[in-house]
Structure 1
Amino acid sequence: MLRAFLRTTAARARSRTPRSVPDDDVLLDAPDDRLAPALVAAARGDYAPAAGLLSTTRERAEWEHRDRYATRLAAFARSRAEWLDTWRATVPDDPDALLIAARLAVHRRWDSPARAELLRQLVPAVVGAAETSGPDPVPWRTALDAARGARAGHAEFERLWAQAVRRSAHHYGCHVAALQYLAASSPGAHGECLDFAETAAQDAPEDALVRALPLRAAFTCLTSTAAVRTHRRRLDAAADRAIALSAAHPAADPWTAELRNLLAYVLLRLGRRQEAAEQLRLTGPYVTSFPWERDTDDPLGHFLQARADVRAEARARAPGHPPRGRAERSAPGDH
């Protein structure tokens, strides 16, 4: 963990203005400067930095950061939980420890063949913890995920959703959970998913992460050639909105890494390869498992191959090579 942290720092220093990050410098799911020390300490059994980090996000109402850090810390605790066990034993009622524990409990049940039944048993405890969390929407995101996995009915999910948006009307994580529920409960309802995402984005502040929700909805459409054809204009509009959001952030920014990875993936699937190449450049050394893991067990390898392909095409378009049309489109599943 410490070696990974040091490598992350070195790669970040070499890529402030990335042009061509070597493959060996590309990092999968690298933590940012705030999360990395907490993970290093947790690997040594010390929960204090993680507690301090989450306490700060709660006190400052940094809900998007809090959600992301809670997810990463819970994922780490899946294989190394000693630090979390010590934290909960030392401060049993700590809201930040309870948040990590609830998310870890959902994660551990998610891959089970009996997921729905196991999560039905867990939902009351997760919701009960969320009800004690005051203005924090992040525990409600965990409750929404648990309800989705438990195949909760619409009325129950809408009740939890109302509690989440009452605390934060534009929280990205809660909106993603609702979008995933809609997609899972109504297969083929691509138009409804786009409607929900576009409405959320239109109502959000200019710099809000939820403005990228239509891109996430576009991603759900890519499994269906018919959906891409039917909603092509809306998918392009979702990508355009995300391009504008990406442009508002510096290059090689770990915070926007997932947005840019998802945007590059969607652009590639839509055949907008030159624009995808620019997003692949802007990611710098930061690769996220999502969305590349959809098609393979090797998300890093998938990213590197996609990047190599668009670089080769860029070289082929250079002077002395036959030009390729900018408007060239490729069918979903080609990449």
Structure 2
Amino acid sequence: MGVTVQRPVTTRRVSGLNVSMRGAVLPGDSSVVVREFPVPRPAAHQVLVRVKAAAVTDGDVHTAYRQHVEDGLGRYSGVICGRETSGVVQAVGARVESLAPGDRVAVYPVAGCGECPDCSRGYPTGCTGSTRIAYGRSRNGGMAEYLLAEEGSCILLPEPLSHVDGALLSCTFSTAWEALLRLQIDQEDRLLVVGADAVAMATMMLARSLGVTSVSLFDENPASRKRALERGLTDFAAAGPNPDGEGGWTAVVECSGDPEGRVTALRSAARWGRVAFVGEGSSMLFEPAQDLIRRQLTLHGVYGARIDDVRGLAAHLAERSLHPSEAATHCFSFADVETAYRTADECGSSGCKVIVVFDQP
């Protein structure tokens, strides 16, 4: 199934900007359509980003590429897809103060109302206001040559981070970072990660950067376990716990969203341990008294990251010369965006991460 391009793309320019651009939309039948769109002009508090890299997310695949279903970010509305984006600021609105043309930025996937309880805490992902914007859901996202972004959504990308680093920083790595911050992870912890998707790989990579020496992984996919071991992200990898063993991990991050994975996460934690649920989807059955209450566990639900913490993560990565791009498993040009989405779909939950890069100057 090839890419369908509707109308040829012109190359006319006005004041240094293209008049039109190419962007990818998802009809919901496991196909990608590339269309021509007008290049937007930024309003007072907006910036126009020339996209350099965008990542395909599991959410895009499950709730927009295969079919259109609602998730925590809302229902896909037929806009340009893509919610993990990085690029260069091309133009700024009249009242933008923190950014200038030429700045390299990652774009946080949600712009909140700024007034609801979640926004007041710095978590626009959970915004309940009517003006909430989800890039790639309710507003055009980053799988295009240009992206119109709110000033507050942009995170300056320090050297030596690349644009692929920035795309992965904006959601995948920031979610993993938030989980570790909530758990107050430290070097003495024994960390268990359940599931081996891209967020799990990011969790292990970031835990290592914080000095955690004991990192274990449970995942049923042998290729995922092998990849984590070969990269030095984990000391121990298995399909699941030993039925005769007892949980002894002081901190656990559950990334699979699988009912059994969630129960495994709880039962693998040590007494007084801390557990973070990151993976969405499905329900679970467990024994609250036996699995949680009597063992004095602390359970965190993690949905997105505090945007100031994402800026802190960018600094952390730059200071340590850590590159989220190491978690990418496939990279395609925008001309092959159909292949990029098909590859992500075929990978399933095996921990692959697909990147689309833009070759425009």
Q: TM-score, normalised by structure 2?
A: 0.23
Higher helix share: 1
Q: TM-score, normalised by structure 1?
A: 0.25
